[in-house]
Structure 1
Amino acid sequence: MPRIRRGIMRPQMNRRSLLGAGVALGAGAATTAVATPARAQAVDGADAIVDTVVVGAGLAGLAAARKLVAAGKKVLVLEARDRVGGRVHDIGLANGGTIERGGQFTGPTQTRLQALADELGVKTFTGYNTGESIYYTADGTAIRYTGALPPMDNDSYQALGQAIYQLDTLASTVPVDTPWAAPKAEELDGQTFASWIEGNVTNANAKTILHLMSNGALSAESRDISLLWILYYIAVSGNETNPGNLTRLISTLGGARDSRFVGGPYQIATKMAAALGSKVVLKTPVRRIVQSGGSALVVADNLVVSASSVVVALPPTLAGRIVYSPALPATRDQLTQRFPLSSIGKAIAVYDKPFWRDAGLNGQVAALTGTTRSTFDNSPPDGSYGALLAFLDGDQMRAVEDKSDATVKQLILDDLTRYFGSKAATPTEFVLGRWDAEEYTRGGAPGFTPPGVLTRFGTAIRKTSGVIHWAGAETATFWNGHMEGAVRSGEQAAADILKG
Structure 2
Amino acid sequence: MPSSLHSVNPPSRTVASVSRRRLLGGVAVGAAGLALGGRVFGSGIASASPGGSIGAQTYDAVVVGGGLSGLAAAKTIAEGGRSVLVLEARERAGGRVHNISTPKLGVTLDAGAEFIGPTQTHIAALAKEYGVASLPTYNAGDSIYWNSGRRATMPSALGLPIDPASPEAALALSQLELEPLLGFPVGEPWKHRDAAYLDSVTWQQWLESRTMSPTARMLLSLASSAALSVEAHELSALYFFNYVASAGDEANPGSLIRLLSTAGGAQERLFVGGAALIPLRIANELGERVVYNAPVRSIGWTDEVATVESDAGTVRAKKVVVAMSPAISGGIDYRQRLTSARVGLHAGYRMGAISKFAAVYREPFWRAKGLSGQVIGNGDPIDVCFENYAEGNHVLMGFISADSMRRLDQASEEQITAECTQNFVDYFGPEANDHVDHGIFKWDLEPWSQGGPVAVSRPGTLTRYGTALRAPVGPVHWAGTETSDYWTGYMDGAVRSGQRAAKEVLDAR
Common fold: TM-score over 0.5? yes
Structure 1: 5+ residue stretches without partners: 1-24
1:278 pairs with 2:288 = yes
Q: Which amino acid aligns with 2:496?
A: R
CA contact (8 A) 1:355 1:386 kept: no
1:293 deviates by: 2.2
- Distance in structure 2 (CA, Å) of the matches to 1:461 and 1:286: 20
* Residue 495 of structure 1, aligned match among 491, 494, 503: 503
1:358 Cα deviation (Å)? 1.3
Q: Note if 1:297 corresponds to 2:298.
A: no
**2:240: which partner in 1?**
230
Matched, 1:159 2:167: no
Native 8 Å contact 1:294 1:466 kept in 2: no
CA contact (8 A) 1:54 1:65 kept: yes
Instruction: Say whether 1:249 aligns with 2:238.
Output: no
The one-letter code of the counterpart of 1:55 is: V
Aligned with residue 48 of structure 2, among 35, 48, 51: 35
Contact 1:317 1:341 in 2 (8 A): yes
1:159 counterpart SS class: helix
Name the SS for the 1:485 alignment partner.
Answer: helix
Larger radius of gyration: 1
Q: Who is 1:59 aligned against?
A: 68
Amino acid at match of 1:77: V
Determine the C-alpha separation between the residues in 2 that align with 1:76 and 1:53: 5
Q: Does 1:116 align with 2:126?
A: yes
> Is residue 376 of structure 1 aligned with residue 386 of structure 2?
yes
Residues 26-57 of structure 1, C-alpha deviations (whole Å, 9 max, x = no match): 7979997432355427xxxx542111100000
Q: Contact 2:162–2:170 (CA<8 Å) still a contact in 1?
A: no
Q: Is the 8 A contact 1:34 1:282 kept in 2?
A: no
**Contact 1:294–1:467 at 8 Å: present in 2 too?**
no
Aligned residues: 467
Cα distance per residue 1:240-266 (max 9 Å; x no partner): 111111111111111111111111111
In structure 2, the partner of 1:10 is none
Correspondence for 1:17: none
Further displaced range: 416-425 or 234-243 = 416-425
Do 2:113 and 2:491's aligned partners in 1 also have CA atoms closer than 8 Å?
yes
d(CA) in 1 for partners of 2:166, 2:49: 60
Read off the aligned partner of 1:51 and give its amino acid letter. D
Distance 2:331 2:80 in 1: 31
1:420 to 409, 421, 428: 428
Counterpart secondary structure, 1:388 = strand
1:82-481 maps to which residues of 2 (within 5 A)?
A: 82-93=91-102, 95=105, 97-138=107-148, 140-146=149-155, 147=158, 148-153=160-165, 155-157=167-169, 159-166=171-178, 169-380=179-390, 384-481=392-489
**How many Å separate the matches in 2 of 1:264 and 1:35?**
22
Residues 39-80 of structure 1: CA deviation (Å, up to 9, x unaligned): 427xxxx54211110000000000000011011111110000
Q: Over residues 368-423 of structure 1, what are the superposed CA-to-partner deviations in whole Å (9 max), with x where a residue is unaligned?
A: 2321111110124x8x3210111011111111123122211211112112222222
Q: CA deviation at 1:440?
A: 0.7
The superposition leaves residues 178-209 of structure 1 with CA deviations (integer Å, 9 ceiling, x where unpaired) of 21111121011111111111111322221121
Given the superposition, is the C-alpha separation of residues 158 and 51 from structure 1 closer, same or farther in structure 2, using an over 3 Å criterion? closer
Conserved? CA contact 1:189–1:452, under 8 Å: yes
- Contact 2:225–2:232 (8 Å) recurs in 1: yes
Q: What letter is aligned with 1:105?
A: F
1:157 deviates by: 4.5
> Are residues 126 and 201 of structure 1, via their aligned partners in 2, closer, same or farther at CA, if it must alter by over 3 Å?
farther
Tell me whether 421-430 or 294-303 shows the greater mean CA deviation: 421-430
1:149 to partner: Cα distance: 3.1
- The alignment status of 1:76 with 2:77, answered yes or no, reads no
Amino acid of the structure 1 residue aligned with 2:248: G
Whether the 8 Å contact between 1:37 and 1:302 is mirrored in structure 2 is no
2: CA distance, partners of 1:37 / 1:104: 26
